[in-house]
Amino acid sequence: MTTKKAIGVFMIFVALYLGLYTWNARTGILDRLAANTGLEVVGWVIKPGVRLHSIAEEFWDRYVYLMDVHQENKKLREEVDKLRVKVAAKSEMAAFARRMEELLEFTPPPGWTSRGLRVVAHNYGPLGVLESIIVDKGRLQGLSPNMPVVTPEGVLGRTFKTGLNFSTILLVTDPNSRIPVLSSTSRTPGIVAGQGRGKPLTVEYVHLNAPLQKGEYLMTSGTAGIYPKGLPVARVNSVERSEIRLFQLVEAEKLVSVMDREEVLVLDNITKLRTDYLGFDGIIWDFSEGDDSLEYW
């Protein structure tokens, strides 16, 4: 481009500028156009930014709120867990109180006293040979063999072996257990014998003509020197008579379930002197030498 052309273009530009400036000074159109256009441009640029800022601020507020809620929920869960533990402890205490109330409602026969024992184990020994439980008291607490062990529902068994602080209770279901009884209605005598776990009790030596009936309760007769008279032992399930037998075939069910017993009562005869030999049905307990061994007839 030559110098003349450049000067010409410059002069044209100056002329157009001065003309537009003069025209805009009279009309103000360009000023209004620029103001409106700039405002729109600025608005369209700022509005998304404001929206993004609002979204970010709302997200942050929600995040902080959710974190607070999370922390609060964590604390609430911890409090709920603590309350559950307390409720479980209170429930256990209430159950223990109910069991103690049941035991305290038991009134021992005249001449007998009762005290509580806590069950600490079931069916000990090789292959669980004995139908037995272990309780938390022994000789140091005044227990000796052949003391009746009962619950408010009936007879559970008798003390069998007594250590210093623990004792074995022989249950009525054990085959070695024998308890002289009388039926509650017909007053039929017999001997309740155990047959082992899961099997019914048998009632031995019931005379063929005895009027024993199904449903009668069998109560201790008090004739063996171990159990006081009048404690419930079992309920007659079946009575079978046959001319080829000398005695009736009688089966009974126990009244006490040992598996749900946590506490039991032991009875002590305070009116009768201890003898050297205690036992029943062929079992003799010799305490004269302080030996707990069994001797059989």
Q: Residue 288 pLDDT > 50, yes or no?
A: no
Across 37-51, 180-194, 211-225, 266-280, least confident range: 266-280
User: Distance between CA 246 and CA 249 in Å, rounded?
Assistant: 10
The CB-based long-range contact list for 41-46 (8 Å cut-off, 24+ gap) reads: none
Is 285 a residue whose pLDDT tops 70? no
| Over residues 34-62, mean pLDDT | 71
**In whole angstroms, what is the distance from residue 45 CA to residue 50 CA?**
9
**DSSP, res 274:** P
Structure tokens at 58: 């709302």
Q: How many Å apart are CA 270 and CA 224, to the nearest integer? A: 17
Give the tokens for residue 188: 């039929």
User: H/E element holding 69?
Assistant: helix 29-105
Residue 271 to residue 111: CA distance in whole angstroms: 6
Distances (CA, A) of 59 to 46, 73, 170, 175: 20, 20, 73, 77
Q: pLDDT at position 166, please?
A: 94
Nearest C-alpha neighbor of 274 from the set 194, 172, 159: 159
Are 218 and 156 in contact by the 8 Å Cβ rule? The answer is no
At 245, the pLDDT band (50, 70, 90 cuts) reads confident
Mean pLDDT of the chain: 80
pLDDT reported for residue 139: 93
Q: Which residues contact 239 (CB under 8 A, 6 or more apart)?
A: 212, 213, 214, 248, 249, 250
| 167-171 and 154-162 strand pairing | antiparallel
Segment 139-172, tens digit of pLDDT? 999 999 999 999 989 999 999 999 999 999 999 9
Q: Among 185, 221, 182, 178, which Cα is nearest to 202's?
A: 178
DSSP state of 285: E
- For residue 238, pLDDT over 90 is answered with yes
pTM for this one? 0.63
Question: pLDDT tens digit string along 185-208?
Answer: 999 999 999 998 889 999 999 998
What residue type is assigned to position 127 of the chain?
Answer: L
140: left (phi over 0), alpha (psi -120 to 50) or beta: alpha
Q: Is the pLDDT of residue 176 over 70?
A: yes
Q: How far apart are CA 28 and CA 24, in angstroms?
A: 5
> For 272-276, what is the mean pLDDT?
52
* 189 vs 41: which has the higher pLDDT: 189
Percent of the chain surpassing pLDDT 90: 39
Q: 109-138: per-residue pLDDT in tens?
A: 888 999 999 999 887 555 456 788 999 999
Q: What is the mean pLDDT of residues 40-69?
A: 74
